[in-house]
A = this chain, B = another copy of it.
Amino acid sequence: MLPEQARGGFPRLHVLDNVDPETISALLGRLILSRTLFIVTSKSGGTAETMAQFLIVSARLAAEGLALGSHVVFITDPSTGALRPLANAQGVPALDIPQSVGGRFSVLTPVGTLPSALIGIDIGTLLSGAEEMASRCDTDALLENPAGAFATLQWLADTRHGRTINVFMPYSDRLRDFADWFVQLWAESLGKQTTDGAYVGPTPLAALGATDQHSQVQLFMEGPKNKTVTFVAVSERGMDVTIPHGFSNVEELGYLGSHTLGELISIEQRATAGALAMRGRPNMTVHLQRVDEWHVGGLIMLLELATAYAGQLYGIDAFNQPGVELGKQFAYALLGRPGAQAARREWDSLPAPDPRWTV
């Protein structure tokens, strides 16, 4: 994560969550390194992608005579892993990811709050909103516990009614990436093998309203009955735009005048939810008063708690990710990391692709 030079009082944030060389070289070519802070986030310090980025950035800083400790911050485990000793040896400031918190649950730790604070998000309010939701969910009365209700409904829909796919569809551009966050949380926490050997876990699917009404809603309406849809509706927009009257003799245009875009997007959401309900397609709507720190903090906590509950309902550990280990070992083997010899032998045992299929 790379906050760049100041704009409107706050630095600009770039999130480098991939290792595509074209993206990285384009960005590094644009940044003024002397005015850039690099936030290197890895709990274990073992993630190959993040470590490769760190090596590239370190060398570029050194080439410009810039001190690592002035331009890099680590966010990592408080005591173990590769970055903590490096922080101590190189004088790099390092913030903690609490040991009990895994990556996908870490957005309310410095992993999320440091970059948020740097770009002007009020993280105190974010955390208060989360805290309020946590106390609200601290009840055994299921119907009064939003996280418990969410988890139970989705779990029942999946395991009793074959609704194996959970669509998450906010009607706000500012929540587009929030849906991707939910996908990681729900997929990586719940997609697991149980101790009985069963493979369980719903498949989350991100969609954006109203855009994806023209992309995926046909499938949600008339495809297999294997989905639930969770809408996130927003009641108040930070800004609204009135649709002016014009071409009032044209049937397709005349009726729109004096509605606002905020009304239009809200009506699109209600109409889509109603149409799905009319066709027996289960859906729910989470109403968010505003897209602000307080409400987003609450929604984060609601979904994190729901994920923990769902883990219990599915009978799996929501906090580990054993399934990605084999792929990591294969990557280490192919990159020649010491200690990956066993993975190398397993890799070599895989049949080669049939050359007839090479396109």
Contact = CB atoms under 8 A, between A and B. Distances in A.
B217 A323 contact: yes
Interface stretch (A3-11, A17-25, A121-129, A303-311): A17-25
A115 interface: no
A251 B336 CA distance: 12
A259 B335 contact: yes
Given A213-B327, A215-B184, A218-B191, A256 B21 contact: no
A342 interface: no
A278 interface: yes
A267 B286 CA distance: 40
A239 B22 contact: yes
Tell me which of A28, A193, A199, A328 has the highest count of chain B C-beta atoms within 10 A of its own C-beta. A199
Interface string A152-194: 0000000000001100000111100000100110011011110
A275 to B, nearest CB: 4
A52 interface: yes
A350 interface: yes
Interface stretch (A30-38, A93-101, A241-249): A241-249
B241 A338 contact: no
A141 to B, nearest CB: 11
Given A241-B24, A324-B218, A200 B224 contact: yes
Interface string A62-78: 00000000000000000
Nearest to A347: B274
A271 B327 contact: yes
A160 to B, nearest CB: 15
Contact of A165 (B19, B203, B331): B203
A188 B332 CA distance: 39
A12 interface: no
Given A199-B225, A261-B19, A251 B82 contact: yes
Nearest to A194: B222
A223 interface: yes
A188 B201 contact: no
A216 interface: yes
A75 B271 CA distance: 27
Contacts of A323: 217-222
Nearest to A143: B356
A21 B237 contact: yes
A220 B191 contact: yes
A287 B358 contact: yes
A109 interface: no
Contacts of A215: 104, 180, 183-184, 187-188
A112 interface: no
A217 B201 CA distance: 12
A328 B214 CA distance: 10
A58 B255 contact: no
28 contacts: A17-B211, A18-B265, A20-B237, A20-B261, A22-B237, A48-B256, A48-B264, A55-B247, A55-B256, A56-B261, A82-B250, A82-B252, A86-B250, A143-B356, A164-B164, A187-B218, A188-B218, A190-B219, A191-B220, A203-B224, A218-B324, A221-B327, A271-B347, A274-B350, A276-B327, A278-B326, A278-B346, A279-B326
